[in-house]
């Protein structure tokens, strides 16, 4: 077992010693602690690509100071349009121990971070539990945010119950065919909806305090939905499903920031990006402003009390961080 991997007692986690990995809904069974890579592209060694202040989240997450964001390598979902593919596929990242991650959390708090946000940390959930507990014993007192695709196993969410304060999941699709087409996960809608229910049951309604004269989210669920090019009807179905299930008991963030990185990668000679665009040509474009406005109008008509929305041009590759190990060492 790698020195930084978790060694929980049998039954404590969805990936007990001697059993294959089931931390995510893929339940691929990889023996990651022995060096085998899972569907998520990583073995048992925790990889972190960046740990730094990030100012481009919802105001209640990043505020003026920035969210203390830790970007992990590896991803269970693997969307074909992922703008963070270098880390999602574990082509970038530095090995980190539980002690290293605890230090990163404390360092980010020391830099004034509004919270510590753990991005796509599912493959390392047992190590995260240990690291956050260690950091809290050493003085970490800002909220801990779980920033996720929404494709989560309920057993892993139970493992995180005493670790996570704010759940920040995506709800990408309400349609199995789209989930299969774009993320090779036709079960995404029902799996993600179950995960969101579990998050809401754990966290309750959103709660806030005040930092620098503005609200900071301290607990609860804030669900994100990113519109895809030409996807107005699909987005309406996703938002409607969320509304029917949760009403105003969770927060909502409706995003237009889809960035057509596939197009630039294909132009640069990336054969895989070119093949994706051959089968999904719509992903070469951006979200049309009028379609995004129509989605916001739909949310208003449903009766969503308050939601976050984006203005300007958030769909720019300049908003994608550098995966250079900043803050990891």
28 known member of a binding site: no
Q: Are 226 and 258 in contact (CB under 8 A)?
A: yes
Question: What's phi and psi for 55, nearest 5 deg?
Answer: -105, 10
- For residue 82, say whether it is annotated as part of any ligand binding site: yes
Residue in this structure with the two tokens 């993600």, named with its chain if needed: 192
Distances (CA, A) of 162 to 33, 49, 87, 195, 271: 24, 25, 27, 16, 44
What residues contact 164, with CB distance under 8 A and at least 6 apart? 144, 145, 146, 202, 203
Whether 37 contacts 31, CB under 8 Å: no
Q: Given the structure tokens 């989605």, which residue do they identify?
A: 295
**Two tokens at 130?**
């240990």
Two tokens at 37? 């890579």
24 appears as a binding residue in the annotation: no
294, two tokens: 């129509």
Cβ atoms 207, 218 nearer than 8 A: yes
**Calpha distance 323→158 (Å, rounded):** 30
The C-alpha atoms of residue 205 and residue 220 are separated, in whole angstroms, by 5
Measure CA of the first residue to CA of the last residue in the chain; give whole Å.
23
DSSP 162: T
Three-state DSSP class for residue 111: coil
Residue ranges of alpha helices (H) inside 65-113 are 85-88, 98-110
User: What does the CA dihedral 70, 71, 77, 79 come to, rounded to 10 degrees?
Assistant: 140
Q: Where is the binding site, in residues?
A: 75, 79, 82
Q: Where is the binding site for [4Fe-4S] cluster, in residues?
A: 75, 79, 82
């Amino acid at each position: 077992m790698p020195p930084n991997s978790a060694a929980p007692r049998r039954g404590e986690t969805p990936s007990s010693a001697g059993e294959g990995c089931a931390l995510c809904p893929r339940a691929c069974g990889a023996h990651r602690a022995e060096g085998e890579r899972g569907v998520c592209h990583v073995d048992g060694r925790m990889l972190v690509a960046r740990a730094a202040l990030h100012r481009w989240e919802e105001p209640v997450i990043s505020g003026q100071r920035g969210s203390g964001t830790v970007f992990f390598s590896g991803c269970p979902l693997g969307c074909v349009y992922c703008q963070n593919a270098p880390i999602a596929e574990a082509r970038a990242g530095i090995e980190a121990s539980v002690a290293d991650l605890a230090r990163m959390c404390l360092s980010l708090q020391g830099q004034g971070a509004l919270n510590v946000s753990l991005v796509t940390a599912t493959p390392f959930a047992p190590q995260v539990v240990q690291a956050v507990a260690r950091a809290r014993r050493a003085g970490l007192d800002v909220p801990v945010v779980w920033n996720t695709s929404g494709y989560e196993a309920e057993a892993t969410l139970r493992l995180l119950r005493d670790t996570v304060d704010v759940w920040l999941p995506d709800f990408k699709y309400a349609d199995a065919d789209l989930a299969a087409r774009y993320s090779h996960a036709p079960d995404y809608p029902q799996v993600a909806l179950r995960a969101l229910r579990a998050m809401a049951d754990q966290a309750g309604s959103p709660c806030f305090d005040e930092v620098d004269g503005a609200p900071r989210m301290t607990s609860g669920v804030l669900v994100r939905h990113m519109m895809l090019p030409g996807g107005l009807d699909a987005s309406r179905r996703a938002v409607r499903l969320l509304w029917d299930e949760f009403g105003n008991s969770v927060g909502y963030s409706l995003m237009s920031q889809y960035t057509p990185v596939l197009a630039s990668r294909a132009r640069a000679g990336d054969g895989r990006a070119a093949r994706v665009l051959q089968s999904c040509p719509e992903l070469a474009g951006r979200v049309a402003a009028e379609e995004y406005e129509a989605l916001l109008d739909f949310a208003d008509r449903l009766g969503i009390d308050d939601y976050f929305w984006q203005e300007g041009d958030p769909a720019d590759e300049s908003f994608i961080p550098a995966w250079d190990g900043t803050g990891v060492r």
